[in-house]
Structure 1
Amino acid sequence: MSTTEVFLLAMLLIFVVPIAIWRLGRTEYYAPLVVVQILCGILLGPGVLGAAFPDYYAFVFDKPVIAALNGIAWWAVMLFVWVAGVELDLGAAWQRRRETGVTAGLALGMPLLFGAAAALVLLKFGSGWIGDKAAPWQFVIGIGMACAVTALPILVLFMEKLDILRQPLGQRILRYASLDDIAIWGVLAAILVDWERMGRQVAFLLLFAVAGFALRRLLPRLAENDRWFIALVWLIGCGFAADWAGLHFMVGAFLSGAVIEARWFDQARMDRFRETVLLALMPVFFLSTGLRTNWDVGGVAVFGAAALLLVVSVAGKLAGVHIAGRILGWQKGEAALVGWLLQTKALIMIIFANILLDKHVITAEAFTALLLMAVGSTMLTTPMVAPLLRRHAGLRDKAG
């Protein structure tokens, strides 16, 4: 077969297998399509399909095909992170800054501490987790932040299905997750500081500030179709500049969206755009992510590390939100409901872990454990939140 034919065969696997499992297995309640796609990426990767059928795996996922898939995956995840940046609403967070700051700070800080402690445990009992270019502090903070991440875009999808997105409770969750998103990318930038490229990184931040100011003056004066085009060009430029500076193109993608106001775009059109990216492009990212999994330290060790990380991430998030609830005088059941929603990991954590792997902060084995942790965290959300919403229906209308 030609490379084109093999590429299309790989695309068939990417799109057919997850939707078949999702529909035939009726997994929506415990494992929405996004989770099934992530799991299929792992199953189609070298640790499962590659181990069981090495010749077939080598035929379908040869170097030219993987290169083509990676290109689509990079563009898909840049668009997805850009949308996440655009949808940040810092104005609402500022209006309720005490409540938002206390909740978001504790919801991020506690799982960060718990995750950092788990990272120290991994370092103590094995050397197969830290990347070859990482200092111990980078690994510890990176793992800690991976445990603290909230997946804002997937959280939006979950809250839509739970019918709370446009209600006061859903808007509160968006405020908390938005502040945590900013902190996540800020910490990532600190982890990726490259002293040999410090001049480039300072230059990037200065030029970004100037260009971002100019963009904010320009976009509101354009027709909406022109805004979309200019915004996508801006996204590409920021991604290139951030990668050139040594930060990572994904940091640039997020920043390019964060300086843009969501109100400059039609909300329904932005929702359709995000859904289209998830439908048509992100499955390729999930597959390319699965191709990066590795079980060389042993399946038991990887699953053990994933279980540890899942426990500390969930426990840390719930503990932080419960402390915030006590400080703010929340009602019974409110902290549990908010905490279980905010512990959703999914895509943002996977993107974060991909960057740590790219920069050799973590190994492929640690990446695999984080990926499994993200899947477990996301699968817990709906089964835990739905009963709480039924028991505490009045909390849907509580604005904070």
Structure 2
Amino acid sequence: MIGSKGCSAQTSTLVFLLLGVAVVVAAARIGGRLARRLGQPAVVGEIAAGIALGPSLLGLIPGDPTSWLFPHQVRPLLGALAQIGLVLFMFIVGLELDMRLVRGRGKAAATISLTSIGVPFGLGIVLALVLYPHHDIVGGHRIGFTGMALFLGIAMSITAFPVLARIMTDRGMQHTAPGVFSLAAAAVDDILAWILLALVIAVIEGGSPAAIARIVALTAGYVAIMFAVVRPLLRRLMRWRERAGRLTPDILAVVVIGLFVSAAVTELIGVHQIFGAFVFGVVMPKVGSLQINTEIAERLEHVSVLVLLPMFFVVTGLGVDLAAIGPDGWWQLALVLVVAIGGKFAGAYVGARCSRIRGRQAAAVAVLMNTRGLTELVILSVGRELGVLSDELFAMLVVMALVTTVLTAPLLRIVYPDSVIASDVAAAERRRQAAGNRRRVMVVIANPTDSVDKLVRETTRAVDFAHGADLVLAGIVLPSRRTREVGTPAVPDFAAAADAVETLTSLSARVSGVATVCVMTRIVSATDHRVAAEIDDMAGNSDADFVLIDAGSAQLARGVTAAPVIVTSSGDGDPDDRHRGDRHRGSGHQGSRPDCVSATTESGILCITDDSRSGRTAILAAVGLALHRGQPLTIATPGSRRRIRSDVTASLGENIDLRVVSLAHGSEVHGSAANGGDANGEARLTIAPYSARSSDSPWTYTVDDHTSTSEEALDQRIARAYASDRADCANTGPGANPDPADDRDTTGTSGQIEATTPATPAATG
């Protein structure tokens, strides 16, 4: 009988636990979705949902649904699930905290971080002097002032790095000074805050100076072992994953085992398990390990975000009773908000100004650093576990965390509106450009995290086109496939950007034959429309004359109007193009003059063009190639040969070996696929690589000029682009070949350039 009753009680507890988990997950998803619709981070709605399931809202309904939905025997189980969720969450935060974000701006980041922690921490201690007489009794026992003061200081000074990253990405601020510096400062802030928390826990738990010293020494030793011993061992996971070709269950098991052992060790030391989880995430290799780290985070998020973290929200919400805040509590809450917002803003603003960041931008940094979110709740839950925060004070601080996070986005729109963001992004990218050569070519790289050797091979054609010009390597970083969730949004994108910058910088060191090299990256959404807009913006900011992109990524550049787009592709050509060329060659035109029917171009560059804007741009590009490669140029046109010769030689004179031939219906140009014009007005260029077998596999470029500015005359465009370069370009040919003019207007092809002999060594090393 007794066994039957025990079994029934266990079944009842299990049923309530399962029902409670279902309700919590549903409430968290609904709350997160509503928050996103209101323009807030999802974590705001999920925290609010957790509070709503507690006595603050659900508990006000007659019958107290909270008590029977979450009975007392179930709450410890929910608490255990919540702690596991926190351990996983803190590991992911550490995993995605890439200190390369601080590189090159460490001094400013440290200054902003120290002032944004120091000022609110000090004000938090002062606030404790006011609040301690009202909250000195916790659980029927008087607490010490020191523990409460230290925790109030930490609560005032925390910044939620993941939520800050999400807000910043949503506003497109990752390319601005406030975005860059606040992200770097928040990364330093995270490290300092968790170290400070460990010290505060040591002070509270240790009691005596000797015990405190022991905890601090053990913690320091633990951190040293993690970096000196564990981190090199974790690098072997990279090789393991490379051999397997995927994240295997065994690799994930090693990570999970290490994670929970690390959390258990810090709990035994006395500095809480979340510190061990965070440090284990930090020591995970970052350089060259984006793929495995993304896969690990993706697997763990499926469990922690969807199921376990909502348990933490409801456990927090069960301890928040807003109705229990008495008359004195509301002025205390107002004081808490003033100190939290004002202290953090003042500290971050002063640090930013000391780092020579302008006033408006410094204010934006200060607003961003006020984001607290889920990280604040983690700190507060630790304080409550240690018994230094009363229920009423805990509720006030939870409200403060919500309010400061909710206010960040609207305040940021006031302090740093979208128009200013766009202006600052443009100014920053223009400052990156080197002065000097007026011709600038931007090469779009849609896979900047590939190996440098692979990018060298893939960009050879594009870099060859930029010979003698200023080169801009523009990396487009697309977000990971997974949808970022609570607390850890967007951070892998920044890690990918850091990888991209390092890769493109290495690539730039292997580029030769260009005047200067500049590297820039953009993090964009996965939609082609958004990518095209970003490419257009980068081209405008960099004042590019041409935008080059590989044929495999050509769809990303559709709609670019800031500069002509040139798509590089294999010289084998499209089968349809070859068929069209065959048809042209098979229908000779009787009565055509011999020099208008055939032009031999094995030793130079051939441009087959029409009278469209793209066709004229093809001529402009062909002239530049001929000048900088020192090769003769043949232009085949259905229009006026005299006009084209005049346009080219007006500025360049005899500095270019030029031949202009007529391209009438049925004519054949030896060595080229003289295909008909495309319906979309694209002009095709072909040029051979700088290799011994260049004639075997010529390269093809497709020009698509949809620039929105009014078009100058061709001679003016050539003069503006190349007149200053002609003295520097070797001319090995005899000059312009005599060629009778042919003014017949006939239908022809798009612009096409072909070169079939090597001229110089490869443009990329």
Query: TM-score, with normalisation over the residues of structure 1?
Result: 0.88
Q: Count residues in correspondence.
A: 399
Q: Larger deviation: 200-209 or 172-181? A: 200-209
Structure 2: which amino acid aligns with 1:9? L
Q: Aligned-pair distance for 1:372?
A: 0.5
Structure-2 change in CA distance of 1:322 and 1:168 (3 Å) = closer
Unaligned runs of at least 5 residues, structure 1:
none
Structure-2 change in CA distance of 1:126 and 1:319 (3 Å) = same
Check if 1:390 corresponds to 2:418. yes
| Paired residues for 1:34-73 under 5 Å | 34-53=43-62, 55-73=64-82
Check if 1:119 corresponds to 2:103. no
Structure-1 separation of matches of 2:411 and 2:297: 26
Check if 1:284 corresponds to 2:291. no
Q: Deviations over 1:161-217 (max 9, x none)?
A: 223347665343221011111111122112111147554664454245325422111
Check if 1:187 corresponds to 2:187. no
Q: Which has the larger radius of gyration?
A: 2
8 A Cα contact 2:177 2:361, kept in partner: no
Q: Aligned-pair distance for 1:81?
A: 0.9
Q: Aligned-pair distance for 1:343?
A: 0.4
Q: Aligned-pair distance for 1:373?
A: 0.3
Structure-2 separation of matches of 1:195 and 1:383: 44
Structure 1: which amino acid aligns with 2:196? V
Instruction: Give the equivalent residue in structure 1 for 2:402.
Output: 375
Q: Deviations over 1:143-164 (max 9, x none)?
A: 0111110011222222232233
Query: TM-score, with normalisation over the residues of structure 2?
Result: 0.48
2:334 to 275, 295, 307: 307
What secondary structure does 1:293 align onto? coil
Structure 1: which amino acid aligns with 2:12? S
What secondary structure does 1:192 align onto? helix
Greater share of residues in helix: 1
Instruction: Give the equivalent residue in structure 2 for 1:147.
Output: 156
Q: Aligned-pair distance for 1:130?
A: 10
Q: Percent identity?
A: 26
Structure-1 separation of matches of 2:109 and 2:100: 11
Q: Deviations over 1:51-97 (max 9, x none)?
A: 43455322211134222222221111111111112222334425322
8 A Cα contact 1:82 1:257, kept in partner: yes
Structure-1 separation of matches of 2:36 and 2:294: 27
Structure 2: which amino acid aligns with 1:338? V
8 A Cα contact 2:124 2:152, kept in partner: yes
Q: Aligned-pair distance for 1:334?
A: 0.2
What secondary structure does 1:156 align onto? helix
| Paired residues for 1:352-371 under 5 Å | 352-371=379-398
8 A Cα contact 1:109 1:320, kept in partner: yes
2:265 to 234, 238, 241: 241
Structure-2 separation of matches of 1:51 and 1:232: 41
Structure-1 separation of matches of 2:142 and 2:224: 30
Q: Deviations over 1:327-365 (max 9, x none)?
A: 222224101111111100111111001001101121222
8 A Cα contact 1:129 1:365, kept in partner: no
Q: Deviations over 1:356-388 (max 9, x none)?
A: 110112122211111000000110111112342
| Paired residues for 1:101-112 under 5 Å | 101-112=110-121
Unaligned runs of at least 5 residues, structure 2:
1-10, 242-246, 432-765
Check if 1:76 corresponds to 2:85. yes
Instruction: Give the equivalent residue in structure 1 for 2:295.
Output: 269
Structure-2 change in CA distance of 1:306 and 1:395 (3 Å) = farther
Q: Deviations over 1:272-327 (max 9, x none)?
A: 45754334432221111111224686344444333322221111122122222332
Q: Deviations over 1:32-60 (max 9, x none)?
A: 33111111211211343234345532221
Q: Aligned-pair distance for 1:122?
A: 0.7
Instruction: Give the equivalent residue in structure 2 for 1:10.
Output: 20
8 A Cα contact 2:353 2:359, kept in partner: no
Structure-2 change in CA distance of 1:191 and 1:21 (3 Å) = closer
Q: Which has the higher contact order (CA 8 A, sep 6+)?
A: 1
Structure 1: which amino acid aligns with 2:23? L
